Amino acid sequence: MSQRVWTFVVSAALGACLAFAIPGCGDDEAPPLAPGAKGAALPTAAAPAQPAAAQAPVPASAAAPAGEDPEKECRTLGYCERKCESECAAEESDRTAFYNAKRARVGKSAFEVKIERVFFSGACHRGDVPEQRKATSGIKAVVEGSLTYNGDDIIYGADLEGTAFLRYGPTRYAEVRAMTREYASGWYGRTIPYSRVTRTVHGSDPWFKGESRPFHWESNALSEAFCEVAPDEAAAYVEMVAYGVRGGRADVPLAVVPLRTEEVVGMALRQQVKIRTPKKGGGFDDETADAHYAKFDRMLVTRLTGKTEWLKRTSIVQTGLFDKGPAAAFPIEGSSAAWKVTVNGVSGAKEFGGYAPKGEDQFVILVDVTVANTGAEAGSLKKLAPRLEVEPGKWQSPLGKALGQLDLNGEVAAGGSVSGKLAFQRQRFERPFRLEVKTPDGSTLYLDVLSYDLGPERGK
Protein backbone atom coordinates (compact mmCIF):
# COMPACT_ATOMS: atom_id res chain seq x y z
CA MET A 1 0.00 0.00 0.00
CA SER A 2 1.46 3.33 -1.03
CA GLN A 3 2.34 5.80 1.65
CA ARG A 4 1.43 8.92 -0.38
CA VAL A 5 -0.79 11.31 1.49
CA TRP A 6 -2.77 14.25 0.17
CA THR A 7 -4.25 17.06 2.22
CA PHE A 8 -7.72 18.39 1.58
CA VAL A 9 -9.79 21.08 3.25
CA VAL A 10 -13.03 20.31 5.01
CA SER A 11 -16.02 22.29 3.78
CA ALA A 12 -18.04 24.64 5.94
CA ALA A 13 -20.34 21.75 6.88
CA LEU A 14 -18.18 21.24 9.95
CA GLY A 15 -18.31 24.88 10.85
CA ALA A 16 -14.58 25.46 10.33
CA CYS A 17 -11.80 24.89 7.81
CA LEU A 18 -9.72 21.92 8.96
CA ALA A 19 -7.19 19.74 7.16
CA PHE A 20 -7.15 15.97 7.12
CA ALA A 21 -5.04 13.26 5.50
CA ILE A 22 -6.55 10.65 3.20
CA PRO A 23 -4.92 7.82 1.26
CA GLY A 24 -3.40 8.86 -2.06
CA CYS A 25 -5.34 8.29 -5.28
CA GLY A 26 -5.25 4.68 -6.35
CA ASP A 27 -3.40 3.49 -3.25
CA ASP A 28 -5.46 0.31 -3.07
CA GLU A 29 -4.62 -0.66 -6.63
CA ALA A 30 -1.09 0.43 -7.47
CA PRO A 31 1.95 -1.13 -5.75
CA PRO A 32 4.40 1.27 -4.12
CA LEU A 33 7.28 2.44 -6.27
CA ALA A 34 10.78 1.86 -5.04
CA PRO A 35 12.94 4.97 -4.62
CA GLY A 36 14.45 5.81 -7.95
CA ALA A 37 12.14 3.51 -9.93
CA LYS A 38 10.63 4.72 -13.15
CA GLY A 39 7.84 7.14 -12.40
CA ALA A 40 8.86 7.67 -8.77
CA ALA A 41 9.62 11.18 -7.61
CA LEU A 42 12.41 11.35 -5.05
CA PRO A 43 11.93 13.98 -2.32
CA THR A 44 14.42 16.81 -2.22
CA ALA A 45 15.23 19.13 0.65
CA ALA A 46 14.35 22.76 0.08
CA ALA A 47 17.36 25.08 0.18
CA PRO A 48 17.18 27.93 2.69
CA ALA A 49 16.28 31.29 1.29
CA GLN A 50 19.24 33.59 0.58
CA PRO A 51 19.23 37.38 0.88
CA ALA A 52 19.06 39.10 -2.46
CA ALA A 53 22.57 40.49 -2.10
CA ALA A 54 24.03 37.11 -1.30
CA GLN A 55 22.51 35.24 -4.23
CA ALA A 56 24.95 34.37 -7.00
CA PRO A 57 24.09 35.60 -10.49
CA VAL A 58 22.78 32.98 -12.90
CA PRO A 59 25.45 32.07 -15.45
CA ALA A 60 24.54 32.72 -19.05
CA SER A 61 25.14 29.05 -19.80
CA ALA A 62 22.39 28.12 -17.33
CA ALA A 63 19.77 30.43 -18.82
CA ALA A 64 16.78 29.03 -20.76
CA PRO A 65 17.53 28.39 -24.45
CA ALA A 66 16.33 31.06 -26.83
CA GLY A 67 12.78 30.62 -28.03
CA GLU A 68 11.66 28.46 -25.03
CA ASP A 69 9.23 29.58 -22.34
CA PRO A 70 11.12 29.59 -18.99
CA GLU A 71 7.81 29.10 -17.12
CA LYS A 72 6.70 26.08 -19.16
CA GLU A 73 7.88 23.60 -16.52
CA CYS A 74 6.09 25.51 -13.76
CA ARG A 75 2.83 25.48 -15.72
CA THR A 76 3.21 21.78 -16.41
CA LEU A 77 3.77 21.02 -12.74
CA GLY A 78 0.78 23.17 -11.80
CA TYR A 79 -1.42 21.25 -14.24
CA CYS A 80 -0.27 17.93 -12.77
CA GLU A 81 -0.97 19.11 -9.26
CA ARG A 82 -4.49 20.25 -10.19
CA LYS A 83 -5.15 16.98 -12.00
CA CYS A 84 -4.06 14.93 -8.99
CA GLU A 85 -6.17 17.08 -6.66
CA SER A 86 -9.25 16.49 -8.82
CA GLU A 87 -8.58 12.75 -8.85
CA CYS A 88 -8.27 12.72 -5.07
CA ALA A 89 -11.50 14.72 -4.77
CA ALA A 90 -13.25 12.15 -6.96
CA GLU A 91 -11.93 9.33 -4.78
CA GLU A 92 -12.99 11.17 -1.62
CA SER A 93 -16.54 11.57 -2.94
CA ASP A 94 -16.72 7.81 -3.32
CA ARG A 95 -15.52 6.87 0.16
CA THR A 96 -18.91 5.33 0.90
CA ALA A 97 -18.31 2.77 -1.85
CA PHE A 98 -14.75 2.31 -0.58
CA TYR A 99 -15.86 1.40 2.94
CA ASN A 100 -18.82 -0.64 1.72
CA ALA A 101 -16.38 -2.75 -0.29
CA LYS A 102 -14.23 -3.20 2.80
CA ARG A 103 -17.29 -4.25 4.83
CA ALA A 104 -18.15 -6.83 2.19
CA ARG A 105 -14.72 -8.41 2.57
CA VAL A 106 -14.78 -8.46 6.38
CA GLY A 107 -15.46 -11.94 7.70
CA LYS A 108 -14.23 -13.70 4.57
CA SER A 109 -10.60 -13.94 5.66
CA ALA A 110 -8.83 -16.75 7.49
CA PHE A 111 -8.96 -14.75 10.76
CA GLU A 112 -11.70 -14.84 13.38
CA VAL A 113 -11.96 -11.52 15.22
CA LYS A 114 -13.10 -11.09 18.83
CA ILE A 115 -13.52 -7.52 20.08
CA GLU A 116 -13.01 -7.04 23.83
CA ARG A 117 -13.14 -3.26 24.16
CA VAL A 118 -13.67 -0.17 22.03
CA PHE A 119 -13.21 3.38 23.31
CA PHE A 120 -11.74 6.83 22.71
CA SER A 121 -8.66 8.21 24.42
CA GLY A 122 -7.43 11.80 24.60
CA ALA A 123 -9.28 14.97 25.58
CA CYS A 124 -11.40 17.81 24.27
CA HIS A 125 -9.93 21.28 24.54
CA ARG A 126 -10.19 23.20 27.80
CA GLY A 127 -10.08 26.81 28.84
CA ASP A 128 -12.60 29.58 29.32
CA VAL A 129 -11.16 31.86 26.63
CA PRO A 130 -10.89 30.15 23.21
CA GLU A 131 -7.98 32.24 21.88
CA GLN A 132 -5.92 31.40 24.98
CA ARG A 133 -6.47 27.64 24.91
CA LYS A 134 -3.61 25.24 24.53
CA ALA A 135 -4.07 22.46 22.00
CA THR A 136 -4.74 18.96 23.33
CA SER A 137 -3.49 15.68 21.96
CA GLY A 138 -6.84 15.25 20.18
CA ILE A 139 -9.03 12.13 20.31
CA LYS A 140 -7.96 8.63 19.27
CA ALA A 141 -9.98 5.49 18.62
CA VAL A 142 -8.79 2.33 20.40
CA VAL A 143 -9.86 -1.23 19.58
CA GLU A 144 -8.58 -4.27 21.48
CA GLY A 145 -9.37 -7.96 21.20
CA SER A 146 -7.98 -11.20 19.83
CA LEU A 147 -7.40 -12.79 16.42
CA THR A 148 -7.63 -16.52 15.74
CA TYR A 149 -5.93 -17.76 12.58
CA ASN A 150 -7.82 -20.51 10.73
CA GLY A 151 -5.78 -20.68 7.52
CA ASP A 152 -3.39 -23.34 6.28
CA ASP A 153 -0.37 -21.12 5.62
CA ILE A 154 2.31 -20.24 8.18
CA ILE A 155 2.29 -16.52 9.03
CA TYR A 156 5.74 -15.11 9.79
CA GLY A 157 4.86 -11.38 9.90
CA ALA A 158 1.75 -9.30 10.66
CA ASP A 159 1.25 -5.52 10.75
CA LEU A 160 -2.00 -3.78 11.73
CA GLU A 161 -3.24 -0.93 9.55
CA GLY A 162 -6.56 0.74 8.72
CA THR A 163 -8.37 4.01 9.46
CA ALA A 164 -10.77 5.60 11.91
CA PHE A 165 -13.44 7.58 10.07
CA LEU A 166 -16.32 9.93 10.83
CA ARG A 167 -19.08 10.43 8.26
CA TYR A 168 -21.05 13.68 7.96
CA GLY A 169 -23.89 13.44 5.49
CA PRO A 170 -23.98 10.85 2.70
CA THR A 171 -20.45 11.27 1.32
CA ARG A 172 -18.38 13.56 3.59
CA TYR A 173 -15.69 11.57 5.43
CA ALA A 174 -12.98 12.67 7.84
CA GLU A 175 -10.45 9.95 8.54
CA VAL A 176 -7.07 9.25 10.11
CA ARG A 177 -4.81 6.26 9.65
CA ALA A 178 -3.93 3.71 12.29
CA MET A 179 -1.03 4.77 14.50
CA THR A 180 1.79 2.53 13.35
CA ARG A 181 4.87 4.41 14.46
CA GLU A 182 6.87 2.76 17.22
CA TYR A 183 7.53 3.70 20.82
CA ALA A 184 10.44 2.82 23.12
CA SER A 185 9.93 0.10 25.69
CA GLY A 186 12.14 -1.72 28.20
CA TRP A 187 15.56 -1.04 29.61
CA TYR A 188 17.32 -0.84 26.27
CA GLY A 189 14.78 1.32 24.43
CA ARG A 190 13.35 -1.53 22.39
CA THR A 191 10.71 -0.25 19.97
CA ILE A 192 7.19 -1.63 19.63
CA PRO A 193 4.48 -0.39 17.20
CA TYR A 194 1.41 1.25 18.74
CA SER A 195 -1.01 -0.78 16.61
CA ARG A 196 0.18 -4.35 16.81
CA VAL A 197 -0.49 -8.00 17.41
CA THR A 198 0.70 -7.94 21.00
CA ARG A 199 2.26 -11.39 20.82
CA THR A 200 4.61 -10.41 18.04
CA VAL A 201 4.59 -12.55 14.90
CA HIS A 202 8.09 -13.30 13.62
CA GLY A 203 10.17 -16.13 12.23
CA SER A 204 11.02 -17.68 15.58
CA ASP A 205 7.38 -17.51 16.71
CA PRO A 206 5.26 -17.93 13.56
CA TRP A 207 1.47 -17.96 13.60
CA PHE A 208 -0.01 -21.40 13.01
CA LYS A 209 -3.57 -22.51 12.31
CA GLY A 210 -5.80 -22.51 15.40
CA GLU A 211 -3.70 -20.04 17.41
CA SER A 212 -5.22 -16.91 19.01
CA ARG A 213 -3.23 -13.76 19.64
CA PRO A 214 -4.31 -10.50 21.31
CA PHE A 215 -4.09 -7.22 19.41
CA HIS A 216 -4.14 -3.50 20.15
CA TRP A 217 -5.28 -1.09 17.42
CA GLU A 218 -5.02 2.67 17.88
CA SER A 219 -5.67 5.48 15.44
CA ASN A 220 -3.77 8.69 15.02
CA ALA A 221 -5.45 11.65 16.69
CA LEU A 222 -8.44 13.47 15.26
CA SER A 223 -8.57 17.18 16.01
CA GLU A 224 -10.29 18.12 19.26
CA ALA A 225 -12.65 20.18 17.05
CA PHE A 226 -14.52 16.91 16.46
CA CYS A 227 -15.71 17.08 20.07
CA GLU A 228 -18.10 19.78 18.88
CA VAL A 229 -20.36 17.94 16.41
CA ALA A 230 -21.74 14.40 16.46
CA PRO A 231 -21.19 12.56 13.15
CA ASP A 232 -23.81 10.51 11.33
CA GLU A 233 -21.52 7.49 11.54
CA ALA A 234 -18.20 6.69 13.21
CA ALA A 235 -16.19 3.50 12.93
CA ALA A 236 -12.72 1.99 13.02
CA TYR A 237 -11.70 -0.01 9.97
CA VAL A 238 -9.09 -2.51 11.18
CA GLU A 239 -6.89 -4.15 8.56
CA MET A 240 -3.85 -6.41 8.73
CA VAL A 241 -0.97 -6.94 6.33
CA ALA A 242 0.02 -10.60 6.77
CA TYR A 243 3.08 -12.37 5.32
CA GLY A 244 2.74 -16.09 4.69
CA VAL A 245 5.40 -18.65 3.80
CA ARG A 246 3.40 -19.96 0.82
CA GLY A 247 1.10 -17.07 0.00
CA GLY A 248 3.37 -14.06 0.51
CA ARG A 249 1.87 -10.68 1.37
CA ALA A 250 -1.90 -10.30 1.79
CA ASP A 251 -4.06 -7.30 2.82
CA VAL A 252 -6.69 -8.68 5.21
CA PRO A 253 -9.77 -6.59 6.24
CA LEU A 254 -10.48 -7.71 9.81
CA ALA A 255 -13.37 -5.60 11.12
CA VAL A 256 -15.36 -2.39 10.77
CA VAL A 257 -16.05 -1.55 14.41
CA PRO A 258 -18.67 1.12 15.32
CA LEU A 259 -17.42 3.94 17.57
CA ARG A 260 -19.66 5.65 20.14
CA THR A 261 -18.77 9.32 19.79
CA GLU A 262 -21.22 10.15 22.62
CA GLU A 263 -18.54 8.82 24.96
CA VAL A 264 -16.37 11.83 24.11
CA VAL A 265 -18.68 14.04 26.22
CA GLY A 266 -20.30 11.30 28.31
CA MET A 267 -22.67 8.41 27.57
CA ALA A 268 -25.06 6.43 29.75
CA LEU A 269 -24.73 2.64 29.91
CA ARG A 270 -27.29 0.16 31.16
CA GLN A 271 -25.59 -3.21 30.84
CA GLN A 272 -23.23 -5.64 32.49
CA VAL A 273 -19.49 -5.85 31.88
CA LYS A 274 -16.62 -7.89 33.24
CA ILE A 275 -13.79 -6.39 35.26
CA ARG A 276 -10.54 -8.21 34.50
CA THR A 277 -7.80 -8.22 37.16
CA PRO A 278 -4.48 -10.11 36.97
CA LYS A 279 -3.96 -13.02 39.36
CA LYS A 280 -0.76 -13.79 41.20
CA GLY A 281 1.10 -16.48 39.32
CA GLY A 282 -0.56 -15.63 35.99
CA GLY A 283 -4.02 -15.58 34.52
CA PHE A 284 -6.95 -13.29 35.24
CA ASP A 285 -10.03 -13.03 37.42
CA ASP A 286 -13.22 -11.78 35.74
CA GLU A 287 -15.80 -10.08 37.96
CA THR A 288 -19.27 -9.14 36.70
CA ALA A 289 -20.29 -5.52 37.27
CA ASP A 290 -23.02 -3.06 36.24
CA ALA A 291 -21.85 -0.26 33.95
CA HIS A 292 -23.45 3.21 34.32
CA TYR A 293 -21.47 5.79 32.33
CA ALA A 294 -18.53 6.01 29.95
CA LYS A 295 -16.34 8.96 29.04
CA PHE A 296 -13.15 8.56 27.00
CA ASP A 297 -11.04 5.87 28.67
CA ARG A 298 -13.03 5.72 31.95
CA MET A 299 -16.17 3.81 32.92
CA LEU A 300 -18.32 4.05 36.05
CA VAL A 301 -19.24 0.58 37.33
CA THR A 302 -20.84 -0.95 40.41
CA ARG A 303 -19.22 -4.16 41.65
CA LEU A 304 -21.07 -7.09 43.20
CA THR A 305 -19.91 -5.79 46.58
CA GLY A 306 -21.89 -2.59 45.98
CA LYS A 307 -18.78 -0.45 45.50
CA THR A 308 -19.14 2.12 42.70
CA GLU A 309 -15.99 3.46 41.04
CA TRP A 310 -14.47 4.78 37.82
CA LEU A 311 -12.16 2.26 36.15
CA LYS A 312 -9.83 2.41 33.17
CA ARG A 313 -11.27 0.85 30.05
CA THR A 314 -8.26 -1.44 29.71
CA SER A 315 -9.58 -3.38 32.74
CA ILE A 316 -13.08 -3.76 31.22
CA VAL A 317 -14.08 -6.65 28.95
CA GLN A 318 -17.15 -5.92 26.85
CA THR A 319 -19.76 -8.54 26.07
CA GLY A 320 -20.52 -7.06 22.66
CA LEU A 321 -20.62 -3.46 21.46
CA PHE A 322 -22.16 -0.93 23.81
CA ASP A 323 -25.55 0.61 23.10
CA LYS A 324 -26.23 4.20 24.03
CA GLY A 325 -28.18 4.15 27.27
CA PRO A 326 -31.11 6.49 27.91
CA ALA A 327 -30.77 9.80 29.69
CA ALA A 328 -32.12 10.21 33.20
CA ALA A 329 -35.90 9.81 33.45
CA PHE A 330 -37.22 12.39 35.90
CA PRO A 331 -38.37 12.50 38.61
CA ILE A 332 -35.69 10.46 40.37
CA GLU A 333 -35.91 9.73 44.08
CA GLY A 334 -33.52 8.66 46.81
CA SER A 335 -34.36 8.06 50.48
CA SER A 336 -32.62 7.72 53.83
CA ALA A 337 -34.19 6.82 57.17
CA ALA A 338 -35.69 10.28 57.67
CA TRP A 339 -35.30 12.18 54.38
CA LYS A 340 -36.32 11.83 50.74
CA VAL A 341 -34.64 13.77 47.92
CA THR A 342 -36.35 14.07 44.54
CA VAL A 343 -34.66 15.42 41.41
CA ASN A 344 -37.45 16.89 39.26
CA GLY A 345 -35.25 17.88 36.32
CA VAL A 346 -31.94 19.31 35.17
CA SER A 347 -31.27 22.16 32.74
CA GLY A 348 -28.52 24.47 31.56
CA ALA A 349 -28.27 28.23 31.45
CA LYS A 350 -25.74 30.94 30.71
CA GLU A 351 -26.65 32.83 33.89
CA PHE A 352 -28.93 32.41 36.88
CA GLY A 353 -30.03 34.51 39.82
CA GLY A 354 -27.77 37.42 38.97
CA TYR A 355 -24.71 35.19 38.53
CA ALA A 356 -23.03 34.95 35.12
CA PRO A 357 -19.79 32.99 34.59
CA LYS A 358 -16.87 35.04 33.33
CA GLY A 359 -15.58 32.50 30.85
CA GLU A 360 -17.06 32.22 27.36
CA ASP A 361 -17.17 28.43 27.72
CA GLN A 362 -18.64 28.35 31.24
CA PHE A 363 -22.27 27.61 31.95
CA VAL A 364 -24.63 27.05 34.86
CA ILE A 365 -26.31 23.73 35.60
CA LEU A 366 -29.67 23.98 37.41
CA VAL A 367 -30.88 20.93 39.32
CA ASP A 368 -34.51 21.20 40.42
CA VAL A 369 -34.90 19.31 43.71
CA THR A 370 -37.45 18.65 46.45
CA VAL A 371 -36.29 17.66 49.93
CA ALA A 372 -38.93 16.03 52.16
CA ASN A 373 -38.72 15.25 55.88
CA THR A 374 -40.15 11.74 56.32
CA GLY A 375 -39.15 11.51 59.99
CA ALA A 376 -41.25 11.98 63.12
CA GLU A 377 -39.63 15.28 64.13
CA ALA A 378 -38.71 18.59 62.51
CA GLY A 379 -35.22 18.67 61.03
CA SER A 380 -32.70 21.28 59.90
CA LEU A 381 -31.27 21.41 56.38
CA LYS A 382 -27.94 22.87 57.52
CA LYS A 383 -26.25 19.48 57.24
CA LEU A 384 -27.64 18.81 53.77
CA ALA A 385 -24.57 18.74 51.47
CA PRO A 386 -25.13 18.38 47.70
CA ARG A 387 -22.47 18.27 45.00
CA LEU A 388 -22.51 17.44 41.28
CA GLU A 389 -20.17 15.14 39.35
CA VAL A 390 -19.48 16.89 36.03
CA GLU A 391 -16.63 14.61 34.83
CA PRO A 392 -15.26 11.26 36.00
CA GLY A 393 -14.21 11.93 39.58
CA LYS A 394 -14.62 15.72 39.30
CA TRP A 395 -17.19 17.22 41.67
CA GLN A 396 -18.65 20.72 41.87
CA SER A 397 -20.15 22.35 44.96
CA PRO A 398 -23.23 24.59 44.55
CA LEU A 399 -22.64 28.20 43.63
CA GLY A 400 -23.01 30.53 46.55
CA LYS A 401 -23.40 33.70 44.47
CA ALA A 402 -26.63 32.89 42.61
CA LEU A 403 -29.94 33.85 44.19
CA GLY A 404 -33.09 31.75 44.07
CA GLN A 405 -31.42 28.52 45.16
CA LEU A 406 -32.70 25.98 47.66
CA ASP A 407 -32.66 27.53 51.14
CA LEU A 408 -30.50 25.32 53.37
CA ASN A 409 -30.78 27.50 56.48
CA GLY A 410 -34.31 26.69 57.63
CA GLU A 411 -36.07 23.75 59.27
CA VAL A 412 -38.51 21.33 57.67
CA ALA A 413 -41.45 20.14 59.74
CA ALA A 414 -42.16 16.44 60.04
CA GLY A 415 -43.98 15.41 56.88
CA GLY A 416 -43.10 18.72 55.21
CA SER A 417 -40.87 19.50 52.23
CA VAL A 418 -39.04 22.34 50.50
CA SER A 419 -38.29 22.78 46.79
CA GLY A 420 -35.81 24.87 44.88
CA LYS A 421 -32.88 24.81 42.50
CA LEU A 422 -29.24 23.93 43.02
CA ALA A 423 -26.90 25.89 40.73
CA PHE A 424 -23.52 24.50 39.66
CA GLN A 425 -20.84 25.79 37.31
CA ARG A 426 -19.67 23.69 34.36
CA GLN A 427 -17.58 23.98 31.19
CA ARG A 428 -18.77 23.19 27.68
CA PHE A 429 -17.40 19.64 27.50
CA GLU A 430 -18.52 18.66 30.99
CA ARG A 431 -21.73 16.63 31.07
CA PRO A 432 -23.11 16.04 34.61
CA PHE A 433 -23.42 12.38 35.66
CA ARG A 434 -24.54 12.16 39.28
CA LEU A 435 -25.86 14.30 42.10
CA GLU A 436 -24.46 13.34 45.48
CA VAL A 437 -26.57 14.39 48.48
CA LYS A 438 -25.50 13.89 52.07
CA THR A 439 -28.71 14.03 54.10
CA PRO A 440 -29.02 15.62 57.55
CA ASP A 441 -29.17 12.17 59.17
CA GLY A 442 -25.74 11.20 57.74
CA SER A 443 -26.74 9.08 54.75
CA THR A 444 -25.30 9.56 51.23
CA LEU A 445 -27.57 9.36 48.18
CA TYR A 446 -26.54 9.22 44.51
CA LEU A 447 -29.08 10.38 41.91
CA ASP A 448 -28.74 10.17 38.13
CA VAL A 449 -28.88 13.55 36.35
CA LEU A 450 -27.35 12.78 32.92
CA SER A 451 -28.89 14.68 30.02
CA TYR A 452 -27.62 14.45 26.47
CA ASP A 453 -28.81 18.00 25.87
CA LEU A 454 -26.06 19.31 28.14
CA GLY A 455 -23.01 19.21 25.89
CA PRO A 456 -20.88 21.43 23.62
CA GLU A 457 -23.46 24.17 22.98
CA ARG A 458 -21.61 26.02 20.21
CA GLY A 459 -21.42 22.91 18.07
CA LYS A 460 -25.20 22.31 17.97
pTM of the full structure: 0.75
Domain ranges (residues) in the chain: 101-264, 267-317, 332-459
Q: What is the pLDDT of residue 72?
A: 61
pLDDT tens track for 305-336: 999 999 999 999 987 778 899 999 999 999 99
Per-position b or e across 151-171, b if 16+ CB within 10 A of its CB:
bebbbbbbbbbbbbbbbbeee
| ∠ Cα 411 414 420 (to 5°) | 50
Share of the chain above pLDDT 90, in %: 58
pLDDT-derived band of residue 456, with 50, 70 and 90 as boundaries? confident
Contact predicate 258/103, CB 8 Å:
no
Cα dihedral 185, 188, 192, 194, rounded to 10, equals 30
Asked whether the domain spanning 332-459 has the same topology as the one spanning 267-317, the reply is no
Mean pLDDT of 162-168: 95
Sheet holding 196-197, edge to edge: 111-122, 139-149, 212-218, 196-197
Q: Domain 267-317: give its CATH code.
A: 2.30.30
Q: What is the pLDDT of residue 129?
A: 72
CATH: 2.40.128, 1.10.10, 3.40.50, 2.60.40. Which one for 101-264?
A: 2.60.40
Please choose, from the candidates 284, 285, 175, the residue with its C-alpha nearest in 3D space to the C-alpha of residue 237: 175
Q: What is the pLDDT of residue 244?
A: 97
Q: What is the pLDDT of residue 127?
A: 72
Question: CA-CA distances (angstroms) from residue 288 to 3, 210, 268?
Answer: 44, 29, 18
pLDDT tens track for 126-150: 777 777 777 788 999 999 999 999 9
pLDDT tens track for 406-453: 988 889 999 999 999 999 999 888 999 999 999 999 999 999 999 999
Instruction: Give yes or no for residue 398 having a pLDDT over 50.
Output: yes
Least confident of 14-18, 106-110, 125-129, 424-428: 14-18
* CATH 3.40.50.970 given to domain 332-459: no
Query: Distance (Å, rounded) from C-alpha 419 to C-alpha 371?
Result: 6
Please choose, from the candidates 226, 118, 102, 250, the residue with its C-alpha nearest in 3D space to the C-alpha of residue 175: 226
